Amino acid sequence: MNLTRWSARLPGTQRRGAVPAARGKTVGAAAPAGGTKGGSAAPADPPPPPRAGGADRTDTLAQAQDQALCAAGGASGTLAGVLSQLPALIAVTTGPAHRVSYVNDAYADVFGPRVTGAPAREALPELDELGLLPLMDQVHRSGRPRTVKARRVSRSDATSLTRQGYFTFTCTPVHPDDPDPERRGVLVFAADVTDQVQSAERLRESERRLHETAVTLQRSLLPQQLEQPDDLRLAATYQPGGTDAAVGGDWYDVITLGGGRTALVIGDVMGRGVRAAAVMGQLRTAVRAYARLDLPPHEVIQLLDGLASEIDATQIATCVYAVHDPSEGRLSYASAGHLPILIRDPDGTVQRTDEPTGPPLGTGGWTHTSATVPFGPGCTAVLYTDGLIERRGEDIEEGVSTLMRALSGATGAPQVICDRLMRALGVTAQHDDDVAVLVLQYPDHTGHPDGEVFRNASLELLGGIEAAPRARAFASGVLASWRFPVELRDLGVLAASELVANSLKHGTPPMRLRLRRTDRRLVIEVTDGDEHLPRRQRAEPADEAGRGISIIATIASSWGSRRTPGGGKAVWCEFTLPG
C-alpha cells in the first residue's frame, strides 16, 4: 500500500521530501524527542540521491516504511496519527526477535491493546496463532515480502460477542539492506477481506446448488430404473462431468420390445447446457416411440437423423441403437457416428463392432445400414460415450484399446463391470466430461440350477392346411412338458392355433412356429415369408374371418409383429407365468 499517497493528501502531514531528514529523529526508541543526553541531536541519515523520472513504486513503499518507523520511534505525531486512522491493521517490529515498535489503532481494535518493546511472540500472540512468526523470520532474513491470504481471525466487540473475520496479511521488510539485523524490521499489514471471503463462499454455495440442480435435471432425463429383460442382465452408470452448472448431453436407455427382444441405445449430444439437455430429452423420447414400431436398427437411426435436424439444426448428436434377439443369439445394431460396441466372449476375447458407421445425427443425406454380431450365452457387451475414453493429447483409438484391455479382465455382475471400467479409465468425481456406460450380459445357464427354466421349441410348418392340427398337437405337448397349469396350456394352444392359421392364410413359406419359455413369461411366435404386417380390426357379426388377431389381443398379455431381416415377418404374443 502506498502510504505516502495517504500522507500527501491529509492536511498538516509531511511531504515526501521531508521524510529522509526526519529519519534520524525517530528510530532511537530510548532517546527523548528533544535530543541525546549530551544535548546534541542524533545524526540524520544522508538523503538518497535523486533519480531520473521520480521515485518508483519500490521507493514509495520504502518511504512509507520509513514513515511507519518514524511514527514508532516517537517523531512528530502527524504520521502516527495518519497510520492510526487507517482501516488496515499495521504493526512494525525490529530485530530478529521482532520487538514491537508500533501498533496502530485498527490493530488494537481487533486484537486489543498492545504494548511496544516486547518480542512479538509475547506482545502479539495472535501472530503466533496465525502462523505468521515463521513467515516474519523469512522476511527478516531474505528481505522479500510474503503474503498469506484470508486467515480467519476471532475478535470481540464492545458487547463481548466473538465475531469471525478474515484478513490478508502482508509482511514487508523494513531497511532490508541494513547490515545490522537489529535495525532491520518487518511491517505487518493486514487488510480486512471478510466481505470478499463471505461473498466468495456465497458464490461457491450458489454454484454448488446450481450444479446439483443441473445434475438432477440431467438424471431426470435419464431412465430412473432400467428395464430388466428376461434374458439379459443390465447395469448403467452415469457420471456428470466438471463442477459447473452446465448440463451434459449423454444419455442411454433400455427398451423391451416384446417377444423376448430388447433394444439398447446410447448417445451423446455435443456441447453442454440446457439446449443440449433439451435435444437429448427429445431424442430419447423419440427413440422409445420409434422402438415401439419394432423397426430394424438402421430405420430407427434414419428417423432420428431427420428428427434431430428438425429439433435443432445446430446440434449434432451421436447414437448407437442395438437390438438383442435371444432366439437368434445375435445383436443387430446401427451407429450414427458413435463409438464401437465392445463385446467380450465367454473365453475373455474382446472384439469391437466397426462397420457400418454413418455420420452423426442431424447431418442428413445419408442412408444408414444395420449389421449383426454373434451374442450368445456368456457374452458381455459395453456401450459407452466418449467421456469414458477420450483424453486431451491422446488419440481416441488409444482410449478404445485401453477399454478393451480393461474389459478383457473384467468379470462379475454388470454393475461390478461398470465400476471396474470407470476405475480402469481413471474416471473420478473431478472428471471434466460426462460419462455414460451401459453393460449387458447374456447369462449362460448351462449347468445352472435355473438352466431348465430357459427352453426353446420350434416346428417347421410344412404340408399346407394340415399343418394347423400338427401345430396344435406340438404346442399342447410342449406346454404339457413344461408343466404349465391347464388354463395357461389351453390359452397357449389357442394362441398358437390362431397365429398358425393367420400365417397359413395370409403368409407364404417358409413358416415356423416357435415356443419359448423364460422365468417370467411364455412367448409364442410364428414367422413366414410375407412382409405384410397384420393389424387388429373389428369384425362384423356376419364376417367369417378377421377375428384371429382380436382373439390373440384378448387372451394374451401382449402381442406384436415385425419384419424380419431376411424378408418376411414375425407375429408373436406373450403370456405372463403365474407366481
pLDDT value, residue 46 = 47
- Name all domains of the chain by residue range, CATH numbers in brackets: 3-33+53-197 (3.30.450.20), 221-441 (3.60.40.10), 451-576 (3.30.565.10)
Task: Select the more confidently predicted residue: 82 or 245.
Answer: 82
Average pLDDT value for residue range 555-565: 91
Query: Has residue 68 got a pLDDT over 50?
Result: no
The share of the chain scoring above pLDDT 90, in percent, equals 45
Query: Has residue 54 got a pLDDT over 50?
Result: no
Cα 260 from chain centroid (whole Å): 34
pLDDT value, residue 246 = 60
pLDDT value, residue 242 = 62
Cα 66 from chain centroid (whole Å): 54
Task: Select the more confidently predicted residue: 220 or 113.
Answer: 113
At residue 421 the predicted structure's pLDDT band, cuts being 50, 70 and 90, is: very high
pLDDT value, residue 472 = 94
348/419 Cα distance (integer angstroms): 18
Residue 354's alpha-carbon distances to 165, 219, 338, 492, in angstroms, are 61, 30, 10, 42
The 10s digit of each residue's pLDDT in 159-208 is 545 567 899 999 999 989 999 999 999 999 999 999 999 999 999 898 88
The model carries a pTM of: 0.66
Q: Mean pLDDT score of the chain, rounded to an integer?
A: 81
Query: Has residue 411 got a pLDDT over 70?
Result: yes
The helix (run of H) or strand (run of E) holding residue 481 is: helix 467-481
Query: Has residue 360 got a pLDDT over 50?
Result: yes
Closest by CA position to 36, among listed 47, 25, 22, 21? 25
**E-assigned strand segments in 175-284:** 185-192, 233-239, 250-258, 261-269
pLDDT value, residue 76 = 41
Residue 292's alpha-carbon distances to 267, 295, 544, 557, in angstroms, are 19, 8, 31, 16
Which range is most confident: 3-12, 351-360, 407-416? 407-416
473 Cβ contact list (under 8 Å, min separation 6)? none
**E-assigned strand segments in 341-429:** 342-344, 350-352, 357-358, 371-374, 380-384
571/536 Cα distance (integer angstroms): 12
The 10s digit of each residue's pLDDT in 285-330 is 999 999 988 889 999 999 999 898 888 878 889 999 999 998 888 9
pLDDT value, residue 567 = 85
Average pLDDT value for residue range 397-403: 92
Residue 211's alpha-carbon distances to 71, 237, 250, 492, in angstroms, are 52, 19, 16, 53
pLDDT value, residue 3 = 41
The 10s digit of each residue's pLDDT in 476-534 is 999 999 999 999 999 999 999 999 999 998 889 999 999 999 888 999 999 999 988 88
8/1 Cα distance (integer angstroms): 14
Query: Has residue 394 got a pLDDT over 70?
Result: yes
pLDDT value, residue 169 = 95
